[in-house]
Structure 1
Amino acid sequence: MNNRRQDVIESAHQVFAEKGYRAASIQNILDRSSISKGTLYKYFSSKSDIILAVFKWLAHKIEQARDELILYRDPKDLDTLKEQISIQIELLETYKMFSLFQEVFVSDDIELKQYIKQHQAIRIKMDTQTIN
């Protein structure tokens, strides 16, 4: 991934975590990431496009943490599953994702709502398959 794009994603996450999704502005993200508006729009078309990238980036980080946990363990072991879920919850809290999810659910952005629903459904399906 392009380093500048990744810097924008991480800066945007910080802004969203501090201000909330609705209160955060593109200008806040520009100020935090120290890039021009043109550069930002080279990578993202809107604020919702940015938060979607943030969600995907954080989902990837959570998935990596879970994968590292089961690297040398039996993924069907119930204690392993419990630890994976604990890691996921801990990271969601650390990255203040619960509050961002809540804001998205009360927004009018159907695409973001759909992403969260699909991601959670996939995660639940994977967890269920692990224990079966």
Structure 2
Amino acid sequence: DKVQGDDGFSYGVSTGYDLAVTPHVTFGPEVSLSESTAKFSGVDASRDLAASVRLGYVVTPQVLAFGKVGYANSRFEVPGDHQTLEGVRYGGGLEYSVTPRTYISAEYQRTEYEDNFGGRDAGVVGIGFRF
């Protein structure tokens, strides 16, 4: 997690649903909640909520490439107060099916915030379970 040029570690959960549009194309919603350890100029990056839509392409039976775009709402803590900013989040990545119900993923996310705050970059790795 990189905010205003300073690095941190982010952790959280995501959930979503993929609909098969064609045998090789998927589309669906995704929501996420995360927390960050990134700090810059006395400000702590904190709670992050996001809602996105994903468009995926089945490269092989085990590999899904995807892109996403959506809304982000992030809280930044300063001593005794906090500021919440909204922005647009976009990115993309790959999922690899380890089993029919388990996958690992890697993705890049970029968030552009309002009020000329700047952006946020994140490299995300995860383990997922299909139901």
TM-score range (shorter-chain normalised) is under 0.3
* Structure whose residues are more often strand by fraction: 2
TM-score normalised according to structure 1 size: 0.20
TM-score normalised according to structure 2 size: 0.20
Asked which structure has the greater RCO (Cα within 8 Å, sep 6+), the reply is 1
* Structure whose residues are more often helix by fraction: 1
